[in-house]
Chain A
Amino acid sequence: MRIVVMPPFDNEFFGGKDRLDLEAGNLFGMVRELDALSPGFSDVAGVRAQFAIDGVVVPDWSTSLAGASEVILLPRVGGG
């Protein structure tokens, strides 16, 4: 499935690539796949990253990716 990598993660971890093609059963698996591409990503993912599956931000990383076509990796945003 298509992974859209938002900045700064594209440059910070994936050599400037903002589109990746990976398969995983759920978002935990997706983080493992991303960490395999860029070791160390999983160390920061839990506190810096969030994911949207087909346009919906999904807080629970155990959510199945079966049938999903696109995952957006984006930074978590802290409010005030």
Chain B
Amino acid sequence: MNAPESKRAFRYVGTRPVRPDGVEKVTGKAIYGPDYQAANMLHGAILRSPHAHARVRSIDTKKAEALTGVKAVVTGADFPTTEHIIMAVGESSSDLVHLSRNCMAQDKVLYDGHAVAAVAATSDEIAREALDLIEVDYEVLPHVLGIEEALADDAPVLHDDVFTKGVNPTPDKPSNAAMRVEMGKGDPEKAMADADVTVSGRYTCEAVHQGYIEPHACVSAWDSDGQVRIWASSQGHFAVRSLTAKILLISEADIRVTPLEIGGGFGGKTTIYLEPVATLLSKKSGRPVRLAMSRAEVFRASGPAPGAVIDITMGANKDGMITAVDMEFKYHAGAYPAITAHSGASSALSHYTIENSRVIGWEVLCNRPGTKAYRAPGAPQSIYAVECALDEIAEKLGMDKIEIRLKNAARPGDPNIMGIPQGEIGYVECLEAARDHPHWSAPLGPNQGRGIAGGAWGNYGGPSTAQVSIAEDGTVLVTTGSPDIGGSRAAMAMMAAETLQVPYEKVRVAIADTSSIGYSMVTGGSRTTFATGLAVTNASNEIIENLKGRAANIWEVNASEVAWGEEGAVCLAEGKTDETMSLAALAARTTFMVGAIGAESSVNPGGFLPGVGVHICDTEVDPETGHAKVVRYTAIQDVGQPIHPDYVEGQMQGGAVQGIGWALNEAYLYNDKGCLDNPGFLDYRMPVASDVPMIDTVMVEKFNPGHPYGIKGVGEVPIVPPLGAVACSVSEAAGVRMRDLPLTPDRVHEAMHPDD
């Protein structure tokens, strides 16, 4: 670990207090989605398609309904007809019809695992027995899984109402190419022709799952008054509310969603799969219904990050200045249009200043689950190709791989590819920290290689609401609408304690249900500590003004003559400067002053800044087996002001390990029928603790002037550099450039021994 002390004079911000949710979680008492039980609850189960692509001719549920213990059966026919309106899904968006049909197929199934019917019964066993009694008549259709195959002229087209967006004129023929974006600047063709050196290559990576430990789960109760209560773990219970309401055509005020503890999300829980289904089962049965995915269902039916095919050509002059980049990438969208092409294109070159570029991105439909966010969605794939190409340019020029990055690095204020200045980014500082880190100069052993790669993500603000209130004994209650997926309760408590100048231990944080606090966008995009933290800070400052006013009234002075400090209210009025009044003393007067002490703040802030990072990876390759093992890894990141450094380091380490898995092991294995052959952690090989060394972290603390505590989002960037860092490291160790992820032993062995 490398954790420099905070450079700013904060009392709590930048320290490492005990996390408030820790005890409940490590003792197994915390209530996650699959744990929740409501009184008189039924158990639900979902029948899923065994086909990758098929038309549903009919569904006969009579035998299932007749089974003793079965209380309700739901199919697509029970879902209301919705319009093709675009709905916000987290910070992104989706077509409402697609969202609804992803929860329950109506006319066609589009991937192995697509839901076609659901049952609620008095036990889980009966519910699953009933699934076997549902008869679905399928007309099996040709399927397509690969990106290039899906774009072929004779490929089966998934939707007859999807026409390629982003091309002019809009095509009149439906296509699996859901979206095309092109952006750039300068004259890349001329600059490429004038370059002293160029490199070209095709890079590929597979779709990968976020791998959250907790499966999707919820309990829904359709009450007799027509109101709905849902308990679910998600990255945003307001999103659960709005999406469920729109799909089922009921008002948002009639749905109350209570957030439960969440066992990982990483972007994959910014949408819904189960809630409308459970709600309809509850409406039919008159009892609360729980639905929980099995691990296999999670893999078969929830959204991974897209796989990609990326073609890139990069040119540079002999001094190492990158003069041109021309790249085209194609991403899996899965069964429904996604929104990652733009983020892939806008992120690809954002950490470098390159005068001539063209970046073209495509989203391609295929018979796989619809893709979803996975930390920095769209960025790891495109930046993987950029970083590897940069590595190749450095090798051609004989340049140090950090020096070439420093030469081309984006500096504060440099515009990104869209022309927007990037503000106080610390990419140069990250590269300098990498250059100065002992890892970079450490000797390598036999069969070892070292890779380095950078990465960036734009981050976000977004709406958040927070309430702060003072209990009658002077302790502090912070309430937000932001699920805690990465330590936000600790961060909120620390910012409230810092602002109010009270001990951290005196602050408690709760996450309110959707009927108890104003709207907050999902916890995602690394926005919550920034935006919700600002709301907490604003509300805390409002409380200080309130308390100063109360103290002034008690002392019979003007409020302007009262200051606030660690001791509470401090009187500045002449003749009364010895007077102080603690927060507890002021709170004790609640019942005989103007009532409760509380404040609410709603924000939708700008001022967010991109995150940037640099990772160094050492791998060792076994020449006999081709097995590549990470033997040393260092993650360096501009984290702004870390509120709780343990959590920040945890994000850096977690993202790095997830990226290592993407680079070395993970892939969906589909058989020739388009069905997933590895829907479990035994065969879908995510890294475990024994697979990786301790991930060393270096936090570069470049304060964000757009936030009172200098916060930058930290959770997205860590998954961006690993693909390039690992690939370059293995390429060096193997002595051959490896461009297709994952770098499984068979691939590495074949590359090392092409004549075997």
Contacts and interface: CB of A to CB of B under 8 A. Distances in A.
B414 to A, nearest CB: 11
A58 B713 CA distance: 18
Interface string B342-356: 110110000000000
Given A43-B86, A78-B89, A79-B527, A72 B418 contact: yes
B376 interface: yes
A48 B341 CA distance: 13
A10 B180 CA distance: 11
B246 to A, nearest CB: 12
A30 interface: no
A79 to B, nearest CB: 2
Given A74-B342, A79-B527, 9 more contacts: A8-B179, A15-B168, A47-B93, A52-B418, A56-B606, A59-B605, A77-B91, A78-B93, A79-B457
A77 to B, nearest CB: 5
B458 A80 contact: no
B346 A8 contact: no
Given A43-B86, A55-B420, A79 B93 contact: no
Contact of B524 (A46, A56, A59, A80): A80
- Most-contacted residue by chain B among A6, A16, A55, A77 (CB, 10 A): A77
Interface string B69-109: 00000000000000001111111110000000000000000
A10 B181 CA distance: 9
Nearest to B605: A59
Interface string A42-80: 011011100010011111100000000000101111111
B264 to A, nearest CB: 11
B685 interface: no
B165 interface: yes
Interface of A: 4, 6-8, 10-12, 15-16, 43-44, 46-48, 52, 55-60, 72, 74-80
A74 to B, nearest CB: 6
Given A7-B183, A8-B179, A47-B87, A77 B346 contact: yes
A10 B168 CA distance: 9
Interface residues of B, number: 58
Contacts of B458: 77
- Most-contacted residue by chain B among A8, A16, A60, A75 (CB, 10 A): A8
B526 interface: yes
Given A52-B420, A59-B605, A76 B92 contact: yes
Nearest to A61: B604
Contacts of B183: 6-7
B270 interface: yes
Nearest to A18: B183
Contact of B419 (A16, A72, A79): A72
Contacts, number: 128
A77 B375 CA distance: 12
A57 B420 contact: yes
Interface in B297-326: none
Contacts of A16: 168
Interface in B406-445: 415, 418-421
A16 B92 CA distance: 23
Interface in B593-635: 604-606, 608
A56 B419 CA distance: 10
B181 A79 contact: no
- Most-contacted residue by chain B among A12, A46, A48, A52 (CB, 10 A): A12
Contact of B525 (A15, A56, A72, A78): A78
A43 B87 CA distance: 10
14 contacts: A6-B342, A7-B180, A10-B168, A11-B166, A12-B165, A74-B342, A76-B91, A76-B92, A77-B460, A78-B373, A79-B90, A79-B376, A79-B457, A80-B377
B342 A75 contact: yes
B673 to A, nearest CB: 31
Top 10 A-B residue pairs of the complex, sorted by shortest distance between their CB atoms: A79-B525, A80-B267, A78-B92, A8-B166, A80-B373, A78-B91, A11-B168, A16-B168, A80-B375, A7-B181
A4 B416 CA distance: 14
B92 A7 contact: no
B196 interface: no
Contacts of B88: 46-47
- Most-contacted residue by chain A among B180, B181, B268 (CB, 10 A): B181
Nearest to A75: B342
- Most-contacted residue by chain B among A11, A44, A79 (CB, 10 A): A79
A55 B421 contact: yes
A44 B462 CA distance: 17
Given A55-B415, A78-B339, A7 B459 contact: no
Nearest to B713: A79
- Most-contacted residue by chain B among A10, A11, A46, A74 (CB, 10 A): A11
Contact of A4 (B419, B459, B604): B419
B67 interface: no
A60 B341 CA distance: 25
Nearest to A16: B168
B329 to A, nearest CB: 14
Contacts of A75: 339, 342
A44 B95 CA distance: 10
A77 B117 CA distance: 33
